[in-house]
Homo-oligomer: A and B are copies of this chain.
Amino acid sequence: MSEDVAFLGLGVMGGPMAGHLAAAGHRVTVYNRTATKAQAWLSRCGGAAAATPAEAARSARFVFSCVGGDDDLRAVTVGQDGAFPAMQPGAVFVDHTTTSAEVAREVAEQARSNGLGFLDAPIAGGEPGALQGALSIMVGGDAGAFEQAAPLLKVYGRSVLHMGPVGTGQLTKMVNQICATGIIASLAEGLSFAERAGLDGDKVIELISNGSAASWQVGNRAKPMLQRDFSAGGAVGLLHKDLGICLEEAARTGTSLPVVELVRSYYETFVDRGEGKLDAACLIDLFNGKSGGAG
């Protein structure tokens, strides 16, 4: 069934996701803070562009967002020209942003008081997953709203699972971030060790890509680490923020996250230096004495 939908936020992830909806025959109206990005998307994918979230959302049965963080989510929903007041009663807002569980609950409450459905639906799978329409989508919120939105989510999701009430999508994404943290840090330690031992880095990467050390990170971040290319999109500043949220939630449930605490302190070193935009691959420079951060 072809639906009227809106997509707010056409970044590295949102752009391809909205594109898959258009390719599947849905009528997509897009909004992006930087309007030139929306125009570029239109020229590739068709559809329509709107000047504000409210205008994009007005006639949509489903509104999707994939924006920067807590404050950006507030802005596109309940801020000036936000989507919520403009949406039709019974329409569903699906947020793909990684936020705190708290803001998910807060915004869901606002949706409810506007007569709208709300799902927190963060994603995993990175840019390749978005391009191939093979993302993991971890969804919190009302089961009825999930049932309605699921066929659309499956357009770009390979695993689309309902985790429980609102906020549980974000909690599941936190598990993802916690697990990724130690992988990145120990990859940086391992490659730093390899360099100091004089080993051929490319051979090391090939050999450890099989078996107990194999990971998405070794496939995607090991070569940038060795090449000191810190230009990819996994900014340490954002990860530092995400891990802070994880630690707050963990404190609430009595879980200790010592590796997360340790690695967050390394990210903080970069944030404190004003280098928060570097990709997390930069951790490699902490472990071989070049930057002195990890002693």
Q: Quick one: given A161-B207, A182-B185, A208-B179, are A253 and B217 in contact (CB under 8 Å)?
A: no
A136 beta carbon closer than 8 Å to chain B: yes
Q: Which of B197, B199, B213 contacts A183 (CB 8 A)?
A: B213
Which of the residues B159, B168, B257 comes within 8 Å of A287, measured between beta carbons? B257
- Chain B: which residue is nearest A234 at the CB level? B212
**B172, A194: Cβ atoms closer than 8 Å:** yes
Provided the pairs A199-B168, A210-B136 are in contact, do residues A260 and B189 lie with their beta carbons within 8 angstroms? yes
- On whether the beta carbons of A186 and B124 are closer than 8 Å, the reply is no
- Interface flags for A41-83 (1: CB within 8 Å of B; 0: not) read 0000000000000000000000000000000000000000000
Evaluate contact between B124 and A208: CB separation under 8 angstroms: yes
CA distance A254 to B195 in the complex (A): 11
> Which A126-180 residues have C-beta < 8 A from chain B?
126, 129, 134-138, 158-159, 161, 163-164, 168, 171-172, 174-180
**Of the candidates B159, B180, B258, which one forms a contact with A212 in the assembled complex, judged by CB atoms under 8 Å apart?**
B180
Closest-CB distance, A57 to chain B (whole angstroms): 27
| Contact flag A217-B212 (CB < 8 Å), given A175-B190, A179-B190, A259-B185 | yes
The interface residues of chain B lying within 8 Å CB-to-CB of A262 are 258-259, 262
A214 → chain B closest CB, angstroms: 4
Could you tell me if A208 and B176 are in contact, using CB atoms closer than 8 angstroms? yes
User: Roughly how many angstroms separate A196 CA and B246 CA in the complex, as a whole number?
Assistant: 12
Q: How far is B124's CA from A204's CA once the two chains are assembled, in angstroms?
A: 11
Question: Across the interface, do A253 and B200 meet the contact criterion of CB distance under 8 Å?
Answer: no
* A257-B295 Cα distance, complex, nearest whole Å: 9
Bound complex: CA of A191 vs CA of B253, how far in Å? 13
Contact A124 B175 (CB under 8 A): no
Is there contact, CB below 8 Å, between B124 and A211? Answer: yes
Q: A179-B186, A179-B187, A210-B158 are in contact. Are A203 and B256 (CB under 8 A)?
A: no
A214: which B residues are within 8 A, CB to CB? 215-216
